[in-house]
Amino acid sequence: MTHYTQTRPPISGRRMTLATDLDGTFLGGTEAERSTLYDWIERNRDSIGLIFVTGRDPAFIIEMCRDRGLPWPEYVVGDVGTTIAKVRADGTIAPIPALEADIALRWDNAGARVEAALEGHPGLTRQPTEFRHRISYDLNPDIYDRRAEAIVAELGLDWLISDNRYFDVLPRGVSKGPSITRLIAHLGIAPETVLCAGDTLNDLSMLISGLPAVAVGNSEPPLLAQIDDHPRVYHAHAHGAAGILEAIDAMNLHDIPKGV
């Protein structure tokens, strides 16, 4: 069962909403730093909304929340932006058809075409997880052949490399940034009350979407190079969870007790 109840204020009425990546960001930092952030969020669920914006799939999110004690989000932008879903009170994650219809149309069941085009491509190993609107590969940078990018473009799709070890094939124009922006508009959340948090290049479109944003202290250098000139992106010194709290305090998005 989720840790929030349906009697809480609508997410559009909260003082702030945290829209956060998981690996390296919400899951980053020390165990003590993560516990500090998670406990603070749980104590303030009436005034803080929580959305996970991640490359992970819903099954991973359910496992982390149900079995490993991660705070339950209320909404999920998963699969690098190709899933937009609501978390139900029973702990299941249900796609929002009105927001996913365009994603499915752009993808147009392209999985088999992508697999055939990239079969045996140097440096790419197909990930075994079956996704609905994306294909993902593990990337070996030592032997990766960049011609894969042109092959994907010729298919009318987008490619994305993150952490120098993941290669995602996505519907044209779909990624974390456009999807979180659409979800926030759909929910009626005031954009200035949202904090987007990330640490790798697959967070770039979210961090430069125009919403308040933070790149946590352990962000990969290629991401930092891309966001250097974006005034709405806060560069945290602290890593992971602690970097999120640092940004919330620095940007005055919510009251944080001294010592938290």
Residue-wise pLDDT tens digits, 198-225: 999 999 999 999 999 999 999 999 999 9
d(CA 175, CA 183): 12
Binning pLDDT at 50, 70 and 90, where does residue 1 land? very low
142 Cβ partners below 8 Å, 6+ apart?
A: 123
| The predicted structure's pLDDT at residue 4 | 46
Spatial distance between the Cα atoms of 63 and 54, rounded to a whole number of angstroms: 14
Give this prediction's pTM. Answer: 0.94
Q: Is 40 helix (H, G, I), strand (E, B) or coil?
A: helix
Maximum separation of any 2 CA atoms in the chain, in Å: 56
Q: What is the pLDDT of residues 132-173, one digit of tens each?
A: 999 999 999 999 999 999 999 999 999 999 989 999 999 999
The helix (H) or strand (E) run that includes residue 200 is none
- The 10 Å Cβ neighbour count of residue 78 is 27
More confident residue, 94 or 6: 94
What does the pLDDT read at residue 129?
83
* Spacing of C-alpha 195 from chain mean position: 12
Give the per-residue pLDDT at 35. 96
Q: Taking the domain 103-171, which CATH number applies?
A: 3.90.1070.10
Query: Which regions of the chain carry the CATH code 3.40.50.1000?
Result: 11-97+174-250
pLDDT above 70 covers what percent of the chain?
A: 98
Q: Which CATH superfamily is domain 11-97+174-250 in?
A: HAD superfamily/HAD-like (3.40.50.1000)
Where, residue-wise, is CATH 3.90.1070.10 in the chain? 103-171
* Per-residue confidence (pLDDT) for residue 130, from 0 to 100: 83
pLDDT by residue (tens digit) across 67-102?
Answer: 989 999 999 999 999 999 999 989 999 999 999 999
State the Cα–Cα distance between residues 65 and 54, nearest whole angstrom: 14
Cα(193)–Cα(101) distance, integer angstroms:
27
Q: Average pLDDT of 223-234?
A: 92
Q: What's 12's DSSP letter?
A: G
